Amino acid sequence: MPVVFVAASKLPTPFATFTMNGFLEEENGREHVVLTLGDVSDGAPVLGRVHSECLTGDALFSQRCDCGSQLEAALRAIASQGRGVLLYLRQEGRGIGLMNKIRAYELQDGGADTVEANERLGFAADQRDYAICLPMLEHLGIRSLRLMTNNPRKVKALTDMGINVAERVPLHTGQNPHNKLYLATKAGKLGHMMGNEHQSEVDPA
């Protein structure tokens, strides 16, 4: 998967001033952003988040999902450590795109859950692809992550492609009355760990 580094700049935010690295995925024109803070190339595991774009949650304050609050919690956690990485992957709506996400929401307004809606539109429940992460992490000299996620499948996907996940750090935030069903579906049908567990899952490999 050819991905080229384009440029890096400062990105001041309310939490910290990150370094913003731009990468272009040449075969499909997708433009990805990786924020880093501190020295991430010293070999020690880096607190990290792999976040897939969610325009409605990240930018429009949607309460249909928990993406916006997870993004903010991850940036705050990285800022509080003074070191970390956030990969912002441009794969909207679990990879189905923004218009199809709105179609899926329309079906959900009619009673379907998030998995049923995607399947009715002919998509797998989760079409996200994390292969792009490896070349971007390699470019930044990051060899090992303390990954902030509730999704064991994301840990497995990253581990399978050769990224060392030293620890899974749970992220519990953003529950509200509108996304109760969505979060329950993620827990029940997609295997997310939504309890209040705080254990670390250390990769034996």
Report the interface residues with Zn ion, using CB under 5 A. 54, 57, 65, 67
Three-class secondary structure of residue 143 per DSSP:
coil
Considering the complex, what minimum distance in angstroms separates the CB of residue 167 from Zn ion?
24
DSSP string for 182-204: HHHHHHHHS----SS--------
Q: Which of 76, 90, 103, 128 is catalytic?
A: 128
Residue placing its CB nearer to Zn ion in the complex, 117 or 137: 117
155 to each of 18, 86, 107, how far by Cα in Å? 24, 15, 30
Residue placing its CB nearer to Zn ion in the complex, 1 or 59: 59
203 annotated active-site: no
Are the CB atoms for 15 and 26 separated by under 8 Å? Answer: no
Are the CB atoms for 49 and 29 separated by under 8 Å? Answer: no
Residue placing its CB nearer to Zn ion in the complex, 3 or 101: 101
E strand or H helix that includes residue 9: strand 3-12
Considering the complex, what minimum distance in angstroms separates the CB of residue 21 from Zn ion?
23
Q: Identify which of 6, 72, 68 has the alpha carbon closest to the alpha carbon of residue 34.
A: 6
Residue placing its CB nearer to Zn ion in the complex, 67 or 169: 67
Considering the complex, what minimum distance in angstroms separates the CB of residue 42 from Zn ion?
33
126 annotated active-site: yes
Considering the complex, what minimum distance in angstroms separates the CB of residue 57 from Zn ion?
3
Q: Which residues are CB-contacts of 40 (< 8 A; sequence separation ≥ 6)?
A: 46, 83, 84, 85, 140, 141, 142
Q: Identify which of 176, 142, 196, 147 has the alpha carbon closest to the alpha carbon of residue 64.
A: 176
Considering the complex, what minimum distance in angstroms separates the CB of residue 44 from Zn ion?
31
Q: Which of 49, 58, 64, 126 is catalytic?
A: 126
Q: Mind telling me the catalytic residues?
A: 126, 128
